[in-house]
Amino acid sequence: MTRSKKTVVLGVTGSIAAYRACEIISALRKEDVSVRVILTKEAHEFITPLSLQTLSRNKVLTDMFDLPEEWDPVHTSLADKADLILVAPATANVIGKIAGGICDDLLTCVIFASSGPVLIAPAMNEKMYKNKIVQANIEKLRSAGYKFIGPIKGRLACGHEDMGHISDTADIVKEAKKLLR
């Protein structure tokens, strides 16, 4: 059976920019893309599963050990369904975990179980983004084939106007659509 509709797994991590996930979901759905959301434990502090579920029209997944809707293990079955994994916003924490090969939550396990493209949209304080370790992790992931969009210079939660602001929703969706072809 061939699927005609593309599926994006959207990983939402613990950043003030988590609200942008709502915009990304809405924009992808307008493009007839199915969106499955994974909300990290830290992201719960910024946005609710109900908002994301309402917009995506799919159950929001938060824990690898929730009872699956299907027989298959959730991390591998979701990875198999993903035409693209988009992590937006992506914190320094999740970038470091992926670069270090750590898969201790549902999002990182799905990423490591997937053979498809992964697009990462960083969002963090400028000092965190410019940190040598974060930059080394980004370069390590780029050299392994991971794609990045942004961040851009903009107003940050700390009040500074600097690099670390999540890319514009339209740019993230445009890059996602390129990778879905």
Give the torsion through C-alpha atoms of 173, 29, 64, 94, to 10 deg: 20
Assigned domain for 111 exists:
yes
CA–CA dist 122, 156 (Å, integer): 12
Which tens digits make up the pLDDT trace of 56-100?
999 999 987 665 565 566 667 788 889 999 999 999 999 999 999
Q: Tell me, yes or no, whether 163 lies in a domain.
A: yes
pLDDT digits over 12-40, tens only?
Answer: 999 999 999 999 999 999 999 999 999 99
Contact indicator for 110, 140 with CB cutoff of 8 Å: no
Q: Is residue 158 annotated as a catalytic residue, yes or no?
A: yes
**Is residue 160 in a domain?**
yes
* CA–CA dist 171, 61 (Å, integer): 25
- Looking at the chain, the whole-number percentage of residues with pLDDT higher than 90 is 79
Residue 92 in domain: yes
Q: Which of 22, 103, 109, 158 is catalytic?
A: 158
* The pLDDT value given to residue 71: 54
Residue 28 sits in a domain whose CATH number is 3.40.50.1950
Reference 69, options 43, 41, 36; nearest CA is: 36
Looking at residue 139, its amino acid is E
Number of separate domains in the chain:
1
Is 1 a domain residue? no
105-158 pLDDT, tens digit each? 999 999 999 999 999 999 999 999 999 999 999 999 999 999 999 999 988 887
Residue 98 and residue 94: Cα distance in Å, rounded? 6
Question: For residue 163, what pLDDT band results from cuts at 50, 70 and 90?
Answer: confident
Sole residue written with tokens 């993903």: 82
Is residue 2 in some structural domain? no
Q: What CA–CA distance (Å, rounded) separates 46 from 106?
A: 18
The domain in which residue 145 lies consists of 7-180
Distance between CA 10 and CA 22 in Å, rounded?
A: 10
pLDDT of residue 88: 98
In a domain, 73, yes or no: yes
